[in-house]
Amino acid sequence: IRYLTAGESHGPQLTGIIEGIPAGLPITEDEIALHLARRQKGYGRGGRMAFEKDRAEILSGVRFARTTGAPIALQMPNRAFEKDDANWPKVMSKEGKGEDVDPITVPRPGHADLTGIQKYRYNDIRPAIERSSARETAMRVACSSIARKFLKHFGIEIGGHVTRIGSVGYERPWEDIRELVDPMLSGGAETVFRTADESEVRCLDEELSQQMRDEIIVRRKEGSSLGGHWEILVTGLPPGLGSFVHWDRKLDGQLAQAVMGTQAMKGVEIGQGFEAGRRHGQVVHDEITYEDGDFKRRTNRMGGIEGGISTGMPLIIRGVMKPIPTMLTPISTIDITSKEEKDTRYERSDVCALPRAIVVIESVIAPVLANAFLEKFGGDSIEEIEERYQAHK
Ligand code: EPS
C-alpha cells in the first residue's frame, strides 16, 4: 500500500491516490468522513476549521461500496479557496507571473519558510507555506482511513489520546497512563479514541483536560502557541509483523518514519521509550509467560515490538509535537529580501493543534501496519487474505 497527496493549503483542493488496497474491502465516503470530522474537532483550533467541512469524494477504485483493487483516487475541496477574502484564486494562480501579488519575504522561525526558500530558491515564501501546511493532513487522514478500514476488518484497532499540553500532563507519564489506558484495551483500542474524543483536548483525564484547556486560553491570550505529548495504541495485531533481518523492514523503524513524516512532530518512542534509559534491565524487560496455549508478556514496556517484530501485545507509540510556529505575538526574524531584522507576520492559525493531530497520527500509522500485515498474509482480495489469516491463526 502506498499513497500520495497533492494540493496546497489555499489551492482549490486536496487530491490523493492510495493503491495496494486489496479488492473486496467494504468502504464508503461516510466512513472516510468519520475520521475527517474527528480531525476537525479539538480545543485550540483556529478559525478555519469552523468553515472547512472536510469530505473526500471517491473518484475511482470503488464499485458498489467495495474496493476493486485498483488505485483509489480521492478529492476534497478547500473551502478557504473561495470563501476567504484573501483572493486565493489570484494568489495561487497557476498562470501569469504574479506581478500583482505581494511576495512574502518574512520567514517564521520553526516553519518550513526559510529552509523552503533555501532549498527551492523561491523569492516568495508562499509556496513553502502552502505545501508544508498541516492542511495536507486532511488528505492523509482520508487515504489512511481506507487502510484503517482494512485493519479493522482483521480486528486491528487504533486509538490515541493527548498526554501533555505545555506544562500540563500526567505526573508519572508511564505508570499513570498505563493504569488508565491498559484496562480500556480489552475492548479494543478504539475505546481509547472514543473516550478521548469526549474531551475537547482529547485527554482521558477530566481534570487534566480542564487544566489543558486553561493552559491554551493563557497562551492564546499571550499570542503564543502550544504543542505537547501524545500516545497511540493499537490492539489486535498478530505477532510476527515486521522483521529484524534488515533495518528498513523493522516495524518500529517504519512507524517512526510515518510519525516523523508528519507535520510538527519532533520525537517518537515505542513503549516506555526514553524512560527505559533511566531504569535498569531487571525492571524494563517484559517477562514471558505461556497461558491458554499462547506466549504472552507480563508487562508491555517494550510497547508491543521486540526485534523490529510485533509481539502480539498492544502497540504503544508515543511522541511529541512542537508548538505551532505561527503566533500572534511576533518573534524576531530576518526579511529575506532586505536582510533587515523584522517581527514575524501573523496569518490565521491554530493555537494548539495537538488534539486534532491525534487523528492524523492514528491515521498515518495505518498504511504501515496494513503493509506489514499484507507482507505476512498476502493476497489480492479480502477473501484470499481471510483464508490465509485463518490458516495462520
Ligand atoms: C496552517 C494554518 C491554518 C490551519 C491549517 C494549517 O490554515 P489557515 O492559514 O488557512 O488559517 O488551519 O490547518 C488546516 C487548514 C487543516 O485543515 O488542518 C499552517 O500554516 O500549517
Per-residue model confidence as pLDDT tens digits over 49-76: 989 999 999 999 999 999 999 999 999 9
Say if CB 279 and CB 288 are below 8 A apart. Answer: no
Q: Is 264 annotated as a binding residue?
A: yes
Q: Is the pLDDT of residue 203 over 80?
A: yes
Distances (CA, A) of 176 to 52, 145, 173: 36, 30, 6
Q: Residue 134 Cα, ligand 1 centroid: separation in angstroms? A: 6
Residue 264 CA, ligand 1 centroid: distance in Å: 13
Strand pairing report for 228-235 and 72-77: unpaired
- Helix (H/G/I), strand (E/B), else coil: 104: coil
Kindly tell me if the per-residue pLDDT of 106 is higher than 90. Answer: yes
Nearest CA residue ID for atom 20, ligand 1: 133
The answer to whether 166 touches 228, Cβ cutoff 8 Å, is: yes
Architecture label for domain 2-392? 4-Layer Sandwich (3.60)
pLDDT above 90 as % of the chain:
97
Q: Whose Cα sits closest to atom 15 in ligand 1?
A: 135
d(CA 358, CA 268): 13
Predicted local distance difference test score (pLDDT) of residue 348:
84
Q: Is the pLDDT of residue 373 over 90?
A: yes
Residue nearest to atom 2 of ligand 1 (CA): 349
**Ligand 1 mean position, distance from CA 68 (Å):** 34
Among residues 347, 134, 329, 320, the alpha carbon closest in space to that of 218 is found at: 329
What spacing in Å lies between the alpha carbon of 212 and ligand 1's midpoint?
21
Query: What's the confidence (pLDDT) of residue 230?
Result: 98
The label of the residue with cell 476549521 reads 49
Tell me what ipTM this predicted complex has. Answer: 0.94
Per-residue pLDDT at 346: 86
DSSP letter string, 287-332: PEEEETTEEEES--TTTTEETTEE-SSPEEEEEEEPPPS--SS--E
For residues 255-270, average pLDDT: 98
Whether ligand 1 lies within 6 angstroms of the CB of 40 is answered as no
Mean pLDDT for the stretch of residues 231-249: 98
What's the whole-number mean pLDDT along residues 287-312?
Answer: 96
- Residue 306: partners with Cβ closer than 8 Å, 6 or more residues away: none
Q: pLDDT-derived band of residue 347, with 50, 70 and 90 as boundaries?
A: confident
What pLDDT does residue 47 have?
A: 87
Q: Is the pLDDT of residue 91 over 80?
A: yes
**Residue 233 is placed in which grid cell?**
495504541
Nearest to 8 by CA among 150, 126, 175, 122: 126
What was the pLDDT predicted at 129? 96
Task: Please tell me the pTM assigned to this model.
Answer: 0.97
Band of the pLDDT at 147, cuts 50, 70, 90?
A: very high
Banded pLDDT at 243 (limits 50, 70, 90): very high
Average pLDDT, the chain: 97
State the distance from the centre of ligand 1 to the C-alpha of 86, rounded, in angstroms.
14
Query: Which atom number of ligand 1 is nearest to the Cα of residue 347?
Result: 9
Nearest to 86 by CA among 347, 350, 353: 347
Phi and psi of 165, rounded to 5°?
A: -130, 115
Average pLDDT over residues 109-131: 97
Mean of the pLDDT values across residues 178-193? Answer: 97
Closest to 42 (Cα-Cα) out of 213, 275, 293, 184? 213
83 is in an annotated binding site: no
pLDDT of residue 165: 98
